[in-house]
Structure 1
């Protein structure tokens, strides 16, 4: 199993689960197992989606299938330190981003992973963060 290189944002997980856009699924399938991971923050967002689903049991089963393929990374103290540094920098520049996106960015940056997202406008504000958008093809 390969070491993770990519931290998937919530929207990318949803695209993989729904198998569209097709390019996202193709890119995911082309990678070696273990090349991707999600933050526990993303997992929380996905659980929120399950809870508000009209069929939460089915949605949870689908999420469990996804999690079997993509490990969930816990948040360590280095992530919190990186979060504080990024948030401070963004505040000084007047360019705040959504709190969950900020945590996901901090998680990726602290462990050296590339964030895969279709929400580039938020994540691009974080200096030094590696970003890819598989949805753009």
Structure 2
């Protein structure tokens, strides 16, 4: 198995599920399996936004998370979270800490949600190259 390089943010997962960005989908599909993951925090955010009774949306999300595994937020990520600037009510801080703890680049359409986290690499793949 290969080591992951990238971590998808919630909005990137939603863009894929809803077909909102061809460039994002193309870049994700071009990667070797295992190079891109997401966080259990992202999984929770995405699944929270899907109606439990919407079988089609739930099936699409299940397929996405089979291809892009959600890694557990662990104690290493929690220790990194302690060290980054605090913003109340921001899951992005947890996602950023998770990516930092694993040495991964966050893929997001909301660069400004992450750009004040020291040392975090961020990329927006929703835009054409």
TM-score of the superposed pair, with normalisation by structure 2: 0.92
Residues 1-137 of structure 1: pairs in structure 2 closer than 5 A? 1-51=1-51, 55-86=53-84, 90-91=85-86, 96=87, 98-137=89-128
Of Structure 1 and Structure 2, which has the larger fraction of its residues in helix? 1
Distance 1:97 1:117 in 2: 20
Please, what is the CA RMSD of the aligned residues?
1.5
What displacement does 1:17 show? 1.7
Distance 2:89 2:10 in 1: 13
What displacement does 1:24 show? 0.5
What displacement does 1:19 show? 2.6
Q: Secondary structure at the match of 1:50?
A: coil
**Native 8 Å contact 1:98 1:122 kept in 2:** no
What displacement does 1:21 show? 1.2
Q: Secondary structure at the match of 2:50?
A: helix
- CA 1:8 to 1:97, structure 2 compared with 1: closer, same or farther past 3 Å? farther
Distance 2:16 2:110 in 1: 15
Distance 1:33 1:98 in 2: 33
Instruction: Note the alpha carbon deviations across 1:32-69, whole angstroms, 9 max, x for none.
Output: 01111110000000111113x7x522211111110110
TM-score of the superposed pair, with normalisation by structure 1: 0.87
What displacement does 1:136 show? 2.1
Unmatched 5+ stretches in structure 1: none
Unmatched 5+ stretches in structure 2: none
